[in-house]
Amino acid sequence: MPDRPMPVFPELDTQAYWEATKENKLLYQQCNVCNSVVFTPRAHCTNCGSNDLKTLESKGEGTVYTYSVVRQNRQPAFAEMGAYSIAYIDLDEGFRMLSSVVGVGDPTKDIKVGMRVKVDFEEQDSSEYKVPVFRPA
């Protein structure tokens, strides 16, 4: 995988999330007031507005909710990849995240809605942070 564009740090809401990727951990939040699951990382609950959130580690297991295959891309970081997937993954803990399904022979044929996947972390040459991607479980 080529180096992907990364956030500019310091970044108050997502810094802990990205720091955890260095240790192959996928973090999410849960509200201590209403128990709603919160993802992407932020300072407040998206359900009730409380700023009383706890950070939890996901098992990284889920299912493909939907996906698309990019066949051509002119963005320099992705231009030489050939066909690759962009997928929404429903994690078992109750949040959905945008990522990519990797480790398949042909993304146009080998990815299916509902397939089980497990998180993996891709290293970036130009960053100490890793990018969470998903492989078939």
Residue 4, domain member (yes or no): no
From 56-60, 65-69, 74-78, 96-100, the region with the lowest mean pLDDT: 74-78
**In this structure, how many other beta carbons lie within 10 angstroms of the beta carbon of residue 21?**
20
pLDDT over 90 percentage in the chain? 75
Residue 9, domain member (yes or no): no
- Are residues 11 and 20 in contact, defined by beta-carbon separation less than 8 angstroms? no
Amino acid 72: pLDDT: 78
H or E element in which residue 19 lies? helix 15-21
Residue 47, domain member (yes or no): yes
Residue 5, domain member (yes or no): no
User: What is the spatial distance between Cα 14 and Cα 77, in angstroms, rounded to a whole number?
Assistant: 22
Number of domains in the chain: 1
- Which residue range forms the structural domain that includes residue 58? 15-136
Of the two residues 129 and 74, the one the predictor is more confident about is 129
Amino acid 95: pLDDT: 98
